[in-house]
Structure 1
Amino acid sequence: MRGNAIFVAPKRSLAQNLMDPEAVRRSLSEPAVDSLAALPARLIEAVVLNSIRLGVIEHGRVLYSFIVTPRLVSPGCVLLGGVITTLVDVVGSIALSTCGLLTTGVSLDINISYLDVAMIGEEIEIEGKVLHVREPITVISVKLRKKATGKLIAEGRHTKYLPASSKL
C-alpha cells in the first residue's frame, strides 16, 4: 500500500496489457496518485530557491549564497545539475531585472560548464552579471563558487530575447 492508494493485482499479464491499446491509453491519460502531475506547480523553483540568501544587488549584478542541503543532492551526495541549471536561469533573470527593463524576456539559450562538485554542507556563492543588454538580445553570466575556497563549480551563460517595446 502506498499512501491512500490500494494495490490491485492486474487480471491480465503485463504483456497482454502492453498489447491492449485501451490499457496503454488509460495509463498515459490517467496520472497515478504519486505521479509528477500530482505535484504542485513550480515545485523545483520552490525547493531550490527556498534557502538562498541575497548578499549584493547592484545595477546589472546580484550575489546570492546558500548552503547545500540533502534535498538538493544526488545519491552520490553532490549538488544536482538540475539545481545548478535552475539557479543559472533564475539568478540570471534577477540580475537582468536590476537593469530597469520592463521585462526579463524569454530564454533563448542556457549553456553551463560543470567544473567541480559541491557537497552537503558547503556554502556556495552565485553571482549573476549582465554582460550585454541591447534589444532584442541580452546575455547574462552566472558563476557558482565555493565560498570557502573561491573554486568555480559551474559557469553558465544565459541568452535571453527581449520583445520590442511598444510604441503605443
Structure 2
Amino acid sequence: MEKAKQLLQLSQAESESVFRLAVNPHEFQVGPSFFEDFALRGIRVDRVEPDMIFCTFVVPPRLIDRAGNLAVGAISNLIDIVGNALIYRVQQPMNVSVNMSISYLSNAKLGDELEVTSRLLGRTGSVSGTAVIIKNKASGDIVAEGRHSLFSRFESKI
C-alpha cells in the first residue's frame, strides 16, 4: 500500500504545473474542449473510408506515465474518441458510450508513431459497435485493441 501511495504522490513540480493550467469553461463551447485538445492534439487523420478511419498519432510527453509508456487512460481515450468519430453526426446530440472493452497488449513509448484504425462493426437501431486497433508503426506490434458500443439518439436506416 505504501508503494502505491508513493507512486501516486505528485512531486512539487507536478503539483505546481496543474495549478498553472488555465481552463476557461464556456456555456456554449466552440471548438475542442480543454480535455480534447490535451488528449488529442497532434492526431492526424490519414484516410476516411465508409465505416473506417485511419489516423496517425505520435506519443507526446504529456501523455506518458511515470514508466515512460503511453498512459492507459490516454489509450482508452483514443479508443473512445476515434471509435465515436465513426458514428458522430454533425448537429446531432453527442453519442454515449454504453460499453468499452480494451485489451492492452504492448507498450508505446515517447515519440513512437502509432497507427489508430477504427472500423464500424455494425448498427442496430440506436446502438453502434466499433473496433479500434492501436499499432506501433515501426514494430508492427499491437499496443491495444478496443471494442466500443455507443448509443445515439438518431436511428440508423441501415
- Structure 1 and Structure 2 fold alike (TM over 0.5): yes
Q: Aligned with 1:86: secondary structure?
A: helix
Q: Aligned with 1:97: secondary structure?
A: coil
Corresponding residue to 1:94 among 85, 90, 96: 85
- Counting only pairs closer than 5 Å after superposition, residues 6-155 of structure 1 correspond to structure 2 as 34=19, 39-40=23-24, 42-97=33-88, 105-155=95-145
- Tell whether the 8 Å contact from 1:139 to 1:158 is kept in structure 2 after alignment: yes
Q: Which has more radius of gyration?
A: 1
Q: Aligned with 1:96: secondary structure?
A: coil
| 113 and 164 in structure 1: CA distance in 2 versus 1, 3 angstrom threshold | same
Q: Aligned with 1:150: secondary structure?
A: coil
User: For the residues of structure 2 that align with 1:109 and 1:40, how far apart are their CA atoms?
Assistant: 30
User: For the residues of structure 1 that align with 2:44 and 2:95, how far apart are their CA atoms?
Assistant: 24
What is the one-letter code of the residue matched to 1:148? Answer: A
Output one character per residue of 1:72-128: Cα deviation in whole Å (capped at 9) or x when no partner.
101111000111111111100112238x9x566311011111110000111001001
User: For the residues of structure 1 that align with 2:94 and 2:20, how far apart are their CA atoms?
Assistant: 32
Q: Which runs of 5+ in 2 are unaligned?
A: 1-11, 13-17, 26-32
Deviation for aligned residue 1:164? 5.1
What is the one-letter code of the residue matched to 1:111? Answer: S
Deviation for aligned residue 1:70? 1.1
Question: For residue 12 of structure 1, what is the aligned residue in structure 2?
Answer: none
Runs (4+) of structure 1 exceeding 6 A deviation are: none
Output one character per residue of 1:23-66: Cα deviation in whole Å (capped at 9) or x when no partner.
xxxxxxxxxx9399x74554332112110111110111001001
**Number of matched pairs:** 132
Q: Scaled by the length of structure 2, what TM-score is found?
A: 0.73
Q: Scaled by the length of structure 1, what TM-score is found?
A: 0.69
State percent identity of aligned pairs. Answer: 31
